[in-house]
Homo-oligomer: A and B are copies of this chain.
Amino acid sequence: MSEHTVSPPDIVRCAYMEIVVTDLKKSREFYVDVLDLVVTYEDDEAVYLRSFEEFIHHNLILRKGPEAAVACFSYRVRSPEDLDKAVAFYEARGCEVRRNKDGFVRGIGDSVRVMDPLGFPYEFFYEVEHVERLCWRYELYTPGALVRLDHFNQVTPDVPAGVKYMEELGFRVTEDIQDEKGTVYAAWVRRKPTVHDTAMTGGDGPRMHHVAFATHEKHNIIAICDKMGALRMSDRIERGPGRHGVSNAYYLYLRDPDGHRVEIYTQDYWTGDPDNPRVTWDVHDNQRRDWWGTPVVPSWYTDASRVLDLDGNLVPLTERTDDSEMAQTIGADGFSYTRQDEDDMPEWKKGEYKLGHQL
């Protein structure tokens, strides 16, 4: 059966990520003691974590392993039958597909894992153990309480190819970054009616750029930074807090003990209408990545986590051949603007945008 005639599974939302960490105790400290995620289950090999408003078993698994990497991006589907559709969808594309009636991890039942056309390990499941939704358990809340898993973000060399596949899988593009020649630098795609369940970010891939959790309000994100300062962990704050142009959300990027990037995110907008207008940003617009014009730090462009295949081996990287967003916007070869058709950025500000190539 041709890939074009196979309907995709009906995906409800991004549900959890499984990451491999090299020091489980250190990672637990970061995600539990610093970020206050809730432990659903833990043993010597893994810690299963969830956010405060979650009722499914987990949103993040930390699994001990020899090398930091991502083992799985997992999505919840609408019905058990959608697993059959997932199998058919990926088999029609010649992908490696495995199914486990008892689940690949705790708390999850019948599941399908695949190596997708972009080289990412994707999972789909419906059956899941319910746990207490802690919405009303305010005696447990902390100043930076994470309330939902919001999205993933993936690095892939050919963004238009990635978007095409995600659209076939039933996702819709909400926003993207392009240049005047039509090069696409990144695209945000969604199933649930927020700006994204995942994004395709241009770069050598497959790699995982970040996993994002939501808070209720902006001060919750500030509280996380304040706490990291108090714990003398401010060097794990990579970028932000700031306001995104894309998504309009208030954000923060952290790096965990293995360098895995975690975003904390709040207040994007409703995208659930069938004709939701796509927003396209110019790669040269200084406010696309940060609405306040704060330059993106180079590591945010260059660093990302490797991913594993279904046997637990690192998936080899493919280089991006399209232009790099970092090169387009910072450093000697790039240019960017705050006001299109003007060249009047103040002298004292120019320095910040010219540093990237010197690193």
Q: Report A's interface with B, CB cutoff 8 A.
A: 12-13, 53, 55-56, 76, 78-79, 126, 130, 133, 135-143, 145, 147-148, 192-193, 216-219, 222-223, 225-238, 241, 243, 245, 248, 250, 255, 259, 267, 269-270, 272-277, 286-287, 291-294, 297-299, 302-303, 338-339, 345-346, 348-349, 351-352, 355, 358-359
Residues of B within 8 A of A299 (CB): 348-349, 351
Give the complex CA separation of A216 and B259 in angstroms.
Answer: 32
B residues near A358, Cβ cutoff 8 Å: 355, 358
B12 touching A55 by the CB < 8 A rule?
Answer: no
Which residues does chain B contribute within 8 Å of A238, judged by CB atoms?
Answer: 348-349
B235 and A346: CB pair below 8 A?
yes
Do residues A139 and B230 form an inter-chain contact, with CB atoms below 8 A? yes
How distant is A213 from chain B, measured CB to nearest CB, in Å?
Answer: 13
Residue contact B230 to A136, C-beta cutoff 8 Å: yes
Docked-complex contact B352 and A297, CB < 8 angstroms: yes
Asked, given contacts A135-B248, A292-B234, whether A222 binds B226 with beta carbons under 8 Å apart, the answer is no
Report how far A314 CA is from B147 CA in the complex, Å. Answer: 44
Which chain B positions have C-beta within 8 A of A269? 53, 133, 135, 147-148
Task: Show 21 A/B contacts (Cβ-Cβ < 8 Å), sorted by A.
Answer: A13-B272, A136-B230, A136-B291, A138-B143, A138-B223, A141-B223, A148-B269, A192-B270, A217-B267, A225-B291, A229-B245, A229-B293, A234-B287, A234-B291, A235-B345, A235-B346, A236-B346, A255-B348, A303-B348, A355-B358, A358-B358
Nearest chain B residue, comparing its CB with the CB of A225: B292
